Structure 1
Amino acid sequence: MDRTALTAKVFGGRMPARAGDLAVESHGIAPIPEANRFGRPVRLLTVFFAPNLTMTAVFSGTLGAGLGLGFRTGLIALLVGTVLGAVPVAYLATWGPLTGTAQLPLARLPFRRTVVLPGLVQWANSIAWDALVGLFGGDALAQLLGLPFWLTVAIVLVLQCAVGVLGYEVIHRVQAVMTAVTAVFFVVLTIRLLGGHPVVVADSASGADLAGAFILFSTIALSLSISWASYASDFSRYLPPTTSRPAAFAYTVLGLTLSFAWGEALGLAAGQSLADQTTAGISALLGGGVLGAIALLVITLTAVSSNAMNDYSGSLALQTVGVRVRRPVSAVVVTVIAFALILWMHSGDLASKFEDVLLIVGYWIPPFVGVVTIDWWVRTRRGRRFDVLAEVARPEPGWPALAAFLFGCAAAVPFMNTSIYTGPVAAALHNADLAYYVGFVASAALYAVFRTALRKPAR
């Protein structure tokens, strides 16, 4: 078998032909032909809502109370951060219908062969998010069934892997069902929380410390929503090219903002009462018994549905770097490695490890978004359309994208704030974390300079 045929066999494969086609999707990173496009943009609302209304969002909200923010101030901070993170994701999601291509494969346009670096980082990112979400799913199932934590984590990972292996259409269908399930559960949780739990409105921090805490908490919220930027068009690539871009953008922003803001606001309202044992705290908050058991089951199911998307995107990232493994096999690899990371996070200081992993796994995303956005603007100026495979085949250097990406990551370092490392600028700004914003601006600016200097007339 020659190289071209092998590439087509590994990176191509069976695709769902219509809504409701639930057979295994073996198709990999090759663009989706127009004949296989289907669905409406409203799908983006549910696919970005259900996987994010999870205990990860709730636990992230409790961090605001730990920073000294009252409910009113913390709510403003999380809304600002969530929307700022959701906008680039929604913009990138509109590229799926136009190109039929997933997000990391599209990054080959600016990065060329150097896409190996962001591709490997994205693959590791998928594993990290598996751990962040799967941790709560395993904990909830352990409390529900009375089984060892390692065993319940394994059960959760097997279930999510099955959904990830089945692929695009099954993921969309699962998220549509889970949107209804999680919405009902969180309505009950919200009513119970606001009816029987005192909500701290006043800020315990003040002055410059309050400003630093506000920025840090908004950055934590931003890190959650923008984390989908490197996945965005993975779940819109089957939409028809005639799909309304404003509709796709609006549904994505709405799905991300409603889910993350709702979950984080609940965590913020609950405060430190949920900071140590989140799933146990939720069950106790609902009074235990049948209602508490239902809560634990829903937490488990949301972990499964959310992580199925991580496995799916992780499998596409591994193919993007050039590993010639069929997409379903790659999804299994992501799941297996996540198991070890979950066990590590579950040991020792959970809150500290959770915040560190949450921030660290996302620092690379704004520099990545800066590069691919500038590249897209240059390629599509004056309404130009292009074929992705033909454009990738054109002889262009990949080093400008890689250099700008690395520059953005490096520029962000002094502005970082984690328990592992606090940059000098962040320390001077009372622990305010501005690394996400600096990384985006730095990479976009440098790549724009490179593209201007090296620009050739479009063919």
Structure 2
Amino acid sequence: MSNQSTATGLASHVETRTIDMVPESERHGTSHSQMTLWFGANLQITAVVDGALAVVFGAEAMTAIIGLLIGNILGGIVMALHSAQGPRLGLPQMISSRVQFGVKGAALPLLLVILMYLGFAATGTVLSGQAINRMLGVDTPYVGILIFGGLTAFVAVVGYKLIHTVGRIATVIGILGFGYLAWQLFHQYDVATAFGQKPFTWATLLLSMALSAGWQMTFAPYVADYSRYLPSNTLVSSSFWNTFLGSTIGAQLAMTFGVLVAALGGNFLKNQVGFMGELAGPLAVLIYLVIVSGKLTVNCLNAYGGFMSILTTASGFNAKKQFSPTTRVVYIVGFVMLSMLVALMASADFLNNFKNFVLLLLAVFVPWSAVNLVDYYLVSKEKVDIPALYSAEGRYGAYNWVALGCYVMGVVIQIPFLNQAMYKGPIAVALHGADISWIVSLVVTSLVYYPLAKRSMKVPAQMIYPTPAAAPAAASRASELRTSLA
């Protein structure tokens, strides 16, 4: 009886919804939760690496910090505008793409998003696995990877509420941990010598902006997933500002730290986890905990968003809009296991190349954001036919060739302007390495898509919600989960 009570209690906290709309009766919380979630997801070791890359690519320290700040602000605005869609629609982020691209056409950006989730999950698992191994004092790589993968799967299966709780914990631990690391950095190094080592150039400023703007805009496919349970009367401004401030402040602090450690000549880029442990000295174990908690937050976002993107892609072709709790668990565990397999079997060189490939994929998210945001705020004006999102025969059809054409154009137009590890475009070379591809794509895609969408989109007169039958269906799914766990 005790075991049955425990299982029932656990089941009551496990999320049961997937890609269907969250009804008002299940909405809860305040937009303040967005600030801690995104602060915790950004104040982490990979953001430190992103900041360090600005110096590695030639920027002077102060130029890098200013450029990263501008990029975080500009990219953060785009990212936070997506967050504001969550309370209004009650839907995961990527299913809203069906409004613009069609029920089946949305599979194009979705497949690329899934690849991004997998790549970031694998590289994050490697770093966290190293930190866990150092905490435990073991040399076998798979030990830390398996432990971290298990933690990721557990948090993602329990779902929305626990993910936000992990974000709050990571925020507190991250502030304390990075505060201590900054104190140690200033005591062990002459930080003033980090500045003025190189002359200012516009190219390195723009490159720094691209690094941080790209960082922020990769969160665009995630962000409404974690605001969709907020009450529908949540102010757009409240959701926007809490998400924006959490994400930009967390990222800027981590990236600034990365700029300093790179400019001071440490071996951070060769051994990120080891360097932070050595810098921490006697509190190295606690800093490893900081690394794991920050990466756990963002890796849960990868697993959670990854499984929903897979379901969204599949459901576009089989017209399903609800999935059982068992299916939900299987997809999450399968995604995490795949990311662990990549982390375990890949060589270090492969992971670096794979990460560069994923960074190149950032080019595909800028035009997607442009199309999604222009439609939502300027064309549809927050009026969506939600039931039609689940049928290719409905208002939005199977494919919207206007949106798909603008999207492809927005990707292609970036090619001459790209300055990435895998490819340097001729215009970027002519601009001495300045990467303005994301700015060009954001502006051009928006300007081309807006007038075409105004003429072609079938916008409903008002928001159309599903029938109230969704609430009993949710109760049935929760009952099914309690029965299976018991």
Q: TM-score, normalised by structure 2?
A: 0.84
**1:416-448 CA-partner distances (Å, limit 9, x unpaired):** 122221111111111111222222223222322
Q: 1:189 aligns with which of 181, 189, 201?
A: 181
Q: 2:117 aligns with which of 115, 120, 126?
A: 126
Question: Which residue of the partner structure matches residue 11 of structure 1?
Answer: none
More deviation in 272-281 or 230-239? 272-281
Question: Which residue of the partner structure matches residue 443 of structure 1?
Answer: 445
Quick check: 2:146–2:340 contact (8 Å CA) kept in 1?
A: yes
C-alpha distance in 2, partners of 1:254/1:176? 15
Question: Which residue of the partner structure matches residue 419 of structure 2?
Answer: 417
C-alpha distance in 2, partners of 1:213/1:354? 24
Question: Which residue of the partner structure matches residue 204 of structure 2?
Answer: 213
C-alpha distance in 1, partners of 2:423/2:118? 22
More deviation in 339-348 or 273-282? 339-348
**1:149-168 CA-partner distances (Å, limit 9, x unpaired):** 23311221121111111111
The AA in structure 2 aligned to 1:164 is A
Question: Which residue of the partner structure matches residue 135 of structure 2?
Answer: 144
Call closer, same or farther: CA 1:171–1:131 in 2, change over 3 Å.
Answer: same
Q: 1:160 aligns with which of 127, 152, 158?
A: 152
User: 1:280: Cα distance to partner?
Assistant: 0.4
Q: How many residues are matched? A: 433
Question: Which residue of the partner structure matches residue 356 of structure 1?
Answer: 356
| Map 1:164-313 → 2, pairs under 5 A | 164-199=156-191, 200-206=193-199, 210-271=201-262, 272-273=265-266, 274-287=268-281, 289=282, 291-313=283-305
More deviation in 320-329 or 147-156? 320-329
1:73 corresponds to 2:51? no
Quick check: 2:99–2:396 contact (8 Å CA) kept in 1?
A: no
Unpaired segments ≥5 residues, structure 2: 1-9, 462-486
C-alpha distance in 2, partners of 1:425/1:293? 47
Q: Match of 2:152, SS?
A: helix
The AA in structure 2 aligned to 1:66 is V
Question: Which residue of the partner structure matches residue 395 of structure 2?
Answer: 394
**1:365-423 CA-partner distances (Å, limit 9, x unpaired):** 11100111121134444xx6444224663155511111111111111111112222111
Question: Which residue of the partner structure matches residue 335 of structure 1?
Answer: 336
Question: Which residue of the partner structure matches residue 428 of structure 1?
Answer: 430
Quick check: 1:97–1:242 contact (8 Å CA) kept in 2?
A: yes
The AA in structure 2 aligned to 1:389 is P
C-alpha distance in 1, partners of 2:197/2:345? 32
Unpaired segments ≥5 residues, structure 1: 1-19
C-alpha distance in 2, partners of 1:26/1:78? 39
Quick check: 1:126–1:334 contact (8 Å CA) kept in 2?
A: no
Question: Which residue of the partner structure matches residue 46 of structure 1?
Answer: 36
Quick check: 1:220–1:359 contact (8 Å CA) kept in 2?
A: no
Call closer, same or farther: CA 1:147–1:93 in 2, change over 3 Å.
Answer: same
Q: Match of 1:348, SS?
A: helix
| Map 1:98-137 → 2, pairs under 5 A | 98-112=88-102, 113-137=104-128
Quick check: 1:311–1:334 contact (8 Å CA) kept in 2?
A: yes
Call closer, same or farther: CA 1:445–1:340 in 2, change over 3 Å.
Answer: farther
Call closer, same or farther: CA 1:329–1:391 in 2, change over 3 Å.
Answer: closer
C-alpha distance in 2, partners of 1:263/1:394? 44
C-alpha distance in 2, partners of 1:38/1:456? 32
**1:4-26 CA-partner distances (Å, limit 9, x unpaired):** xxxxxxxxxxxxxxxx9962212
1:407 corresponds to 2:396? no
Q: Match of 1:286, SS?
A: helix
**1:267-291 CA-partner distances (Å, limit 9, x unpaired):** 111114111111100111112x3x0
User: 1:336: Cα distance to partner?
Assistant: 2.1
Question: Which residue of the partner structure matches residue 25 of structure 1?
Answer: 15
The AA in structure 1 aligned to 2:189 is H
Call closer, same or farther: CA 1:63–1:334 in 2, change over 3 Å.
Answer: same
Quick check: 1:223–1:358 contact (8 Å CA) kept in 2?
A: no
Question: Which residue of the partner structure matches residue 317 of structure 1?
Answer: 309
**1:261-318 CA-partner distances (Å, limit 9, x unpaired):** 011111111114111111100111112x3x0111112212222222011110111111
Q: Match of 1:164, SS?
A: helix
Call closer, same or farther: CA 1:455–1:245 in 2, change over 3 Å.
Answer: closer
User: 1:345: Cα distance to partner?
Assistant: 6.4
RMSD across aligned positions (CA): 2.3
Call closer, same or farther: CA 1:99–1:433 in 2, change over 3 Å.
Answer: same
User: 1:456: Cα distance to partner?
Assistant: 5.2
The AA in structure 1 aligned to 2:128 is G
Call closer, same or farther: CA 1:170–1:320 in 2, change over 3 Å.
Answer: same
The AA in structure 1 aligned to 2:427 is V
Question: Which residue of the partner structure matches residue 10 of structure 1?
Answer: none
C-alpha distance in 2, partners of 1:170/1:394? 36
**1:121-159 CA-partner distances (Å, limit 9, x unpaired):** 111111122123222211212222223123311221121
C-alpha distance in 2, partners of 1:449/1:45? 35
C-alpha distance in 1, partners of 2:55/2:210? 15
Q: TM-score, normalised by structure 1?
A: 0.88
